[in-house]
Chains A and B, each alone.
Chain A
Amino acid sequence: MNATHKPGVGYVTIWVYLLILVAAGVAVLGAPVSKTVAVVLIFGVAVVKATLVIRHYMHVRQQPLMIYAMLTIPVLLAIAMTLALLPDIGLRP
């Protein structure tokens, strides 16, 4: 048996959480909050959903540290690229 995998450990439960989070993300659209708060909530929910899939369905928790590095570095680079260009492109008057 594959050591990274424990069959039947709460996959359906994670799926239910994901469905609830989809509903929560959509519900933010009708919530009486400012646009900025709504955007933060919507993307906060998206990050939680992605984390659930990556941790529990992709079994990243059981992977070596090198795999974490392989995945984290491009994410940081993509964020850094966006932030570096923000003053010149996004916030140009």
Chain B
Amino acid sequence: MSAMSVTEGVHATSRDFARQPLGKVGVWWFLASEIMVFGGLMGSYILSRIAAGGWAAERAHVNTRLAVINTLVLLTSSLTIVEAHAAVDADQRSRVRTFLLATVLLGCMFLGIKAFEYSHEIENGLTPASGLFWSFYYTMTGLHGLHVLIGIIINFSLFVAAGGRNFSRIQHRVEYAGLYWHFVDVVWIFLFPLLYLA
């Protein structure tokens, strides 16, 4: 192998930032900005909670059992979307569609459980106006739920597109959608202990 081709081989690896696809860099930038959004909210929540003495009484009203189920649902959806990405790399169109659909259904299940949880809390008079804990609770879980909904729409559009003629055009998009979906999962990994466990 010539020196030139060795150099080309090194540059062709994905660890070279200059050779990253623009779409992928864009997704990472977007996720970096999202870290500030959720990081700011979580930081404000932690500060307010320490100042208020812990919010133990308020926290006793949240449904930890449903939150555990939702955590398992979202972690499983991370598995299904990474399997969809693996199927894209293996050029297995039917597996891509199956795992994308599974991710969409798990996302819908997450939102359904969250809606059920909200309805019970609102029935019991626990609304965003019930105090600072509930303002944070609805803001953080609501913003997260909005991200899940957007992820569902993206994944469903990719599921539909994967059945069409231009399968090759969506291959990178499945990876980008996966990055977004995993980020949403990571946010929940921290919201779960902040709101339900600690």
Q: Which residues of A contact B (CB under 8 A)?
A: 1-5, 7-8, 11-12, 14-15, 18-19, 22, 25-26, 28-29, 38-39, 42-43, 45-46, 49-50, 53-54, 57-58, 62-67, 70-71, 73-75, 77-79, 81-82, 85-86, 89-92
Contacts and interface: CB of A to CB of B under 8 A. Distances in A.
B72 A42 contact: no
Minimum-distance CB pairs A-B, first 8: A78-B39, A82-B43, A7-B86, A90-B50, A64-B17, A74-B35, A66-B17, A15-B79
Interface residues of B, number: 53
B170 interface: no
Contacts of A19: 72, 75
Looking at chain B's contact residues, the main secondary structure is helix
A7 B192 CA distance: 29
Given A8-B86, A74-B39, A57 B182 contact: yes
Contacts of A77: 36, 39
A70 B29 contact: yes
Given A15-B79, A86-B47, A50 B17 contact: no
Contact of A54 (B17, B47, B186): B186
B189 interface: yes
Given A62-B14, A78-B43, A82-B43, 9 more contacts: A7-B90, A15-B75, A26-B64, A45-B193, A53-B75, A54-B186, A64-B15, A70-B32, A89-B48
B121 interface: no
B135 to A, nearest CB: 16
A82 B43 CA distance: 5
12 contacts: A2-B89, A19-B75, A28-B197, A50-B189, A50-B190, A53-B185, A71-B28, A78-B36, A78-B40, A82-B42, A90-B46, A91-B51
